[in-house]
Structure 1
């Protein structure tokens, strides 16, 4: 999103205002980058424009836990559930799950790109193929960032999602006023204990979307129940002074190390574009699945942003490993790979998009996929 913002948003007044900055930051950007901006402006000049106010806790809801419902499709409508209502039982026709395996998919679908419905439809078709080709015994969780209300409508109406997944957000009610946000799709064979959000300190209304999945230590029964905690997040974009992402990750880390959290996974667009971003996982007691499985920083096989940006953007700003999967606790990373590489919209839609002088990639990000095994714990089975 860094260079999408520079090369696209700043060239159009309406698109500039659609990016959800606070009024103070929007004012600073207008002053620093008038619409006649020479588009060869460097990141360093953008850095100088972004001088956020000191971090304070004036907003009492920042960093606190905000419970929200998740939803299950009953054949006619999406029904909301909370931690105080019984978890819906998965249909008996579903394949049994491996009690220790989980597969995580994370993908950022650029909310500012034109032809959004076409791109999101292509993304869902691609994800459907990934789901159908995954081992039937491995439960899946899909973390999506930069969703819009239009995207959520497509998700609600998608048959394979209705059949196989709980959905945390089917509308924008939990996005605290933002025009875009996150949603998580959870395999219906997993037991959800709770869903909640934690607002980060942010100039862009970023937060963490947490889902607690019930697990138990081997042989300890009801008294040994704990959770595998998942966090879907989109950390602050761009360069700021003072930096904002370290504080966001610190709060995320505290929740991932919470009481009764046997294991945790955090994934999403971490906007890792500065040197300090490389240490944010270790600073907060987390491991990086890509690095643990042999990946190297500054390598082509690790970059998730840049290759599918607009022409000239990669040459000016390079590529980066923005999207990551981090973990801790009773988990072992088994596999990691990028997804969405080279994915384009449907063939019949490409000519129209190219005629508008736009790229026909589904999105500017590659997604990431990770396979994990619980170590010393198992998923709680349904009673029914």
Structure 2
């Protein structure tokens, strides 16, 4: 969620632009663009990876300290230790000032690719945007795209099917992971923009070059038909509450002191996927209910989601 003006959003702003991935070079002591195909082709492919999404709130104070808190929480509470498992981390509402901490964090430098490397590729006025982190054992294809209409980072990764015979004997398939942030609640055209933006993301998962994929992020899912949209577009929402679940337990926003009380708590954040072949995403776990900085401030007004993608 955010409360920035959305006047620059347009149903016509859907162009795609190539972005680069960067890794930190310890000898040069700087982030450098890498040719991912050359690096990733030499690595064994994974069958499973973790998918994490977290909106970390650009509107709050102490954005650097909160970024520090978020990374500490991800490292020690979610990914459990110094060496993370194969994973993709989707961050939304990263403040431009917090990018400094992201680039200087020792854990990130050692284990992750990052895109974008700075705020210059975000939509004007470039104050905040999405960032995708890929654990460096994951095989990432070279082409990454960014949609101008709101925020969506598109990354293609290579995974190994457990049963290649189900994939015409292929030893690897391309799965697309989209890091998105749909339109803000504070716009009169929000429902139209959100539906159109989600449709664009779904269309990107249907391209012939990829074997389906995952959309994760802040969906700002407050519309009456938010759940139906996912179904109508032919995707599965593994976090959708069922009759055995207290619906509020699935909510990811609205529990913090700074909550604008005119909005109820809600399941604003989601991870959804294409039901194709053996591609499966588990029901996500919600995290961050106790995520605070050393000063006692909430890391974010959102909780995060973590799940596993299997092929």
TM-score by length of 1: 0.71
- Give the alignment of 1:185-200 within 5 angstroms: 185-193=133-141, 194-200=143-149
Displacement of 1:170 after TM fit?
1.9
Displacement of 1:109 after TM fit?
0.9
The alignment status of 1:210 with 2:154, answered yes or no, reads yes
Aligned partners of 1:56, 1:326: CA distance in 2, in Å? 22
Of 33, 36, 39, the residue aligned with 1:87 is 39
Residue in structure 1 matched with residue 30 of structure 2 by the alignment: 77
The alignment status of 1:371 with 2:278, answered yes or no, reads no
Of 122, 143, 153, the residue aligned with 2:100 is 153
Aligned partners of 2:78, 2:288: CA distance in 1, in Å? 13
Residue in structure 2 matched with residue 37 of structure 1 by the alignment: none
- 4+ residue runs over 4 A deviation: 134-138, 219-225, 294-298
Q: Which moved more, 1:332-341 or 1:266-275?
A: 332-341
- Give the alignment of 1:43-82 within 5 angstroms: 57=12, 62-75=13-26, 76-81=29-34
Displacement of 1:371 after TM fit?
1.4
In 2, are the aligned partners of 1:139 and 1:187 still within 8 Å (CA)? yes
In 2, are the aligned partners of 1:233 and 1:267 still within 8 Å (CA)? yes
The alignment status of 1:229 with 2:181, answered yes or no, reads no
- Give the alignment of 1:332-371 within 5 angstroms: 332-346=280-294, 349-350=295-296, 360-371=297-308
Computing the radius of gyration over CA atoms, which structure comes out larger, 1 or 2? Answer: 1
Aligned partners of 1:288, 1:335: CA distance in 2, in Å? 8
Cα distance per residue 1:68-100 (max 9 Å; x no partner): 1011112121111356x623678x9xxx87x31
Aligned-partner SS, 1:300: helix
- Give the alignment of 1:77-226 within 5 angstroms: 77-81=30-34, 86-87=38-39, 99-130=46-77, 132-133=79-80, 138-177=85-124, 178-193=126-141, 194-200=143-149, 206-216=150-160, 218=164, 225-226=172-173
Q: Which moved more, 1:121-130 or 1:133-142?
A: 133-142
RMSD: 2.9
Aligned-partner SS, 1:86: helix
Structure with greater proportional helix content: 1
Displacement of 1:139 after TM fit?
1.0
Aligned partners of 2:79, 2:173: CA distance in 1, in Å? 30
In 2, are the aligned partners of 1:236 and 1:271 still within 8 Å (CA)? yes
- Change in 2 beyond 3 A, CA 1:303/1:318: same
- Change in 2 beyond 3 A, CA 1:132/1:56: closer
Aligned partners of 1:82, 1:109: CA distance in 2, in Å? 29
The alignment status of 1:262 with 2:262, answered yes or no, reads no
Aligned-partner SS, 2:51: strand
In 1, are the aligned partners of 2:91 and 2:179 still within 8 Å (CA)? yes
Residue in structure 2 matched with residue 22 of structure 1 by the alignment: 7
In 1, are the aligned partners of 2:40 and 2:138 still within 8 Å (CA)? no
In 2, are the aligned partners of 1:337 and 1:370 still within 8 Å (CA)? yes
Displacement of 1:334 after TM fit?
3.0
Instruction: Work out the number of aligned pairs and report it.
Output: 300
Cα distance per residue 1:142-186 (max 9 Å; x no partner): 110001221111111111111111111221122133211000110
Displacement of 1:102 after TM fit?
1.1
- Which protein, 1 or 2, shows the higher relative CO under an 8 Å CA cutoff with sep ≥ 6? 2
Aligned-partner SS, 2:234: coil
**Unmatched segments (≥5 aa) in structure 2:** none
Aligned-partner SS, 1:183: strand
- Change in 2 beyond 3 A, CA 1:337/1:216: closer
Displacement of 1:243 after TM fit?
2.0
The alignment status of 1:302 with 2:250, answered yes or no, reads yes
**Unmatched segments (≥5 aa) in structure 1:** 6-18, 24-51, 201-205, 351-359, 375-384
